[in-house]
Amino acid sequence: MTEAVVLTGFGGIIGILIGLAAALLIRLAISFPTVVPLWAVVSGFFTSMLIGLVAGIYPAWRAANLDPVHAMRGD
């Protein structure tokens, strides 16, 4: 579960950086002011973290309930 949250956190950071770069390129290319409110950036980041948490809960729960003998055997 931690892995899913960390990966989506990195994905959120990369998405923020790509979005900022795109906004800068648009501003330079067509002289159009691009304004992105801070609340939108923060809510997008935390939404990605929440999605990672929700997506990681089921596999972690399933692994926690798995019998170790069956897991080692590969059944």
3-state secondary structure 5-72: HHHHHHHHHHHHHHHHHHHHHHHHHHCCCCCCCHHHHHHHHHHHHHHHHHHHHHHHHHHHCCCHHHHH
Residues 6+ apart with CB under 8 A from 8: 48, 49, 51, 52, 53, 55
Res. 75: pLDDT tops 60: no
Q: Which domain holds residue 9?
A: 2-64
Q: Which residue is it, tokens 């990369």?
A: 14
Instruction: Specify the pLDDT at position 18.
Output: 95
In a domain, 75, yes or no: no
Backbone angles phi, psi at 36, to 5 degrees: -120, 115
In a domain, 71, yes or no: no
pTM: 0.72
Instruction: Specify the pLDDT at position 71.
Output: 75
In a domain, 70, yes or no: no
Instruction: Specify the pLDDT at position 58.
Output: 87
How many distinct structural domains can be found in the chain? 1
In a domain, 42, yes or no: yes
